[in-house]
Structure 1
């Protein structure tokens, strides 16, 4: 996608023919979402819903690297470490409401998931009605690596992926390409990146389904399809230690590699993520899952691993987080249960 030289406007809005375009415009930060960006996206969607000239909404990212790498986790780190958490809670409140809005938007919402799409980037794209990936797409929910839990409706999406693929992706934070994004239900169409300019031009003139179908091509193979046997068998357990035991015991080297990846993540986040996924399977709507995720996100602000994980991965970049507790066996069930406790008057309150 095109690079803009001026990042003073973090979300660029323009219309072209029948399409309204939302362009995330922080390319140097890989278009990471700020609270201001969330508000601007919401305002644009509100305005365009009632504008008869806008028949389709199109989301893209500025720069050459990707749509969106997630939320602005440096700001969350600073708020959790030095503040009282209210700024992060307010950001998540508006972000999750935006994700729910996108999922229910009454006009075609086309998300161009070219390049890196992670965390909050998944939230503003994978809930859309028309989700386009390319051969350059790299999709992930990597939250357990920073001491956090998949949010932005990620546990809703991943809990509904075939078999236990979503559990594997959520616990390990594994990155997947276009074929696996389609397999896991995170995308609908594969369009070669070279065809994106023509796709955007057609969206100005044609109904969204017709424009996308004109440029859609077979996706690269889904690598996870050949791993379903061990993924479904090992991740079917509802206990994180048992999942690791099964992965280590399985003969496939990829299963052992997955176990080692999982063990490098925050133990508290891994157990909380597994619990969140299993609970999400029993909830009927995205809104109910977002309400649950909001509880967990706010609670994680008071756990030590979030600050430590962001420090290690993003601030100091030493890649050696010191998790507390350090191992899965040391994470008490009561601590996991605490993360799901109702918030009283501070609930997100999306469920009807």
Structure 2
């Protein structure tokens, strides 16, 4: 592929591999609806193509694999635009997430640079997730008045202990070693070895290519914090979690308090509820159905529009949440995130796992 390629997703066969490149580097490869559809088309075609043994997904540029969905479009919808178009984008995106998780051929995601939100959805459900020295993985939704989606609550609920709860409520990011610890990735490859790995994936079976390049990741931080994280985040409510964090005496726990209390109070409470529910829902498809409900509900709230405004539009980093305090969030406001949608339900759990969408 040449630098002149201007399509938002570059798709071609390289030897035995089908290569997908997310190609919006100026926008940190943020996903548009057209990109989601193009990826799905490529997966459909390659499933039936005997020349393609492996699918490899990367991001263009050096800064990001994918920084999420196009939240500027979401802001337009949340402030009076076409909500139906955003809901249709989510329908196709979540179907793609489930498709990736069930894909019958090796799906290799090279998660270099920033991997957030929708970027997690098109990487961390794959069968081979590779992090590098530049990787930063996050589900930062609570910081913009949203709830983790794209199967994020499924993945975070499966993380050891309460690590997923910590990441979701703080909207924090992790490097390679901690992504491996949390189950968001499988292998570490040093950044300088990535080009050679790509070459080998085009010529060799995945296992043989990985064997040449996988190595130990530099040390992370979360493993040494498991004690207070598991103890504090096991509490039943956000308020109790914050009390335990404050009482723990751990400097990093104090930072977590500051991070959580800076996020949307309603979104934080809905996020905790979504994670706890996800643990009991079973397969990814059932969790994606729940996430579609929480996403549609968030789109109708003022906090989502305000969070995107503060973080992305005006960039003043001073969102005015409504309500502004956790104690003012009514139980009914959280319950609305999980209300059935009737004919608008995503309905993935009702499909067979390998069915095409």
How high is the TM-score relative to the length of structure 2? 0.97
Aligned position for 1:166: 164
- Give the 3-state SS of the residue equivalent to 2:174 in structure 1: coil
Instruction: Quote the Cα distance in structure 1 between the aligned partners of 2:127 and 2:184.
Output: 11
Q: How far did residue 257 of structure 1 move?
A: 0.9
1:331 aligned residue (308, 329, 332): 329
Matched, 1:4 2:39: no
Q: How far did residue 84 of structure 1 move?
A: 4.2
Q: How far did residue 6 of structure 1 move?
A: 4.7
Aligned position for 1:242: 240
The superposition leaves residues 7-36 of structure 1 with CA deviations (integer Å, 9 ceiling, x where unpaired) of: 3x1000111110000000000000000000
Q: How far did residue 3 of structure 1 move?
A: 8.7
- Give the 3-state SS of the residue equivalent to 2:217 in structure 1: coil
Matched, 1:142 2:140: yes
Instruction: Quote the Cα distance in structure 1 between the aligned partners of 2:94 and 2:152.
Output: 11
Q: 1:122 to 1:57 in 2, by over 3 A?
A: same
Q: Following superposition of structure 1 onto structure 2, how do residues 1-352 of structure 1 map, counting pairs within 5 Å?
A: 4-7=3-6, 9-352=7-350
Which moves more between the two structures, 84-93 or 280-289? 84-93
Task: Please tell me whether the aligned partners of residues 248 and 256 of structure 1 are also in contact (alpha carbons under 8 angstroms).
Answer: yes
Q: How far did residue 213 of structure 1 move?
A: 2.2
The superposition leaves residues 62-108 of structure 1 with CA deviations (integer Å, 9 ceiling, x where unpaired) of: 01101000000000000111224101100000000000000000000
How high is the TM-score relative to the length of structure 1? 0.98
Aligned-residue RMSD, C-alpha: 1.0
Instruction: Quote the Cα distance in structure 1 between the aligned partners of 2:140 and 2:101.
Output: 22
Aligned position for 2:354: none
Instruction: Quote the Cα distance in structure 2 between the aligned partners of 1:194 and 1:76.
Output: 36
Task: Please tell me whether the aligned partners of residues 3 and 64 of structure 1 are also in contact (alpha carbons under 8 angstroms).
Answer: no
- Give the 3-state SS of the residue equivalent to 1:261 in structure 2: helix
Which moves more between the two structures, 123-132 or 81-90? 81-90
Q: How far did residue 222 of structure 1 move?
A: 2.4
Instruction: Quote the Cα distance in structure 1 between the aligned partners of 2:161 and 2:3.
Output: 41
Any gaps of 5 or more consecutive residues in structure 1?
none
Instruction: Quote the Cα distance in structure 2 between the aligned partners of 1:3 and 1:111.
Output: 21
Moved over 4 A (4+): none
Instruction: Quote the Cα distance in structure 1 between the aligned partners of 2:223 and 2:189.
Output: 20
Q: How far did residue 5 of structure 1 move?
A: 4.7
Q: 1:84 to 1:11 in 2, by over 3 A?
A: closer
Task: Please tell me whether the aligned partners of residues 291 and 349 of structure 1 are also in contact (alpha carbons under 8 angstroms).
Answer: yes
Instruction: Quote the Cα distance in structure 1 between the aligned partners of 2:268 and 2:2.
Output: 37
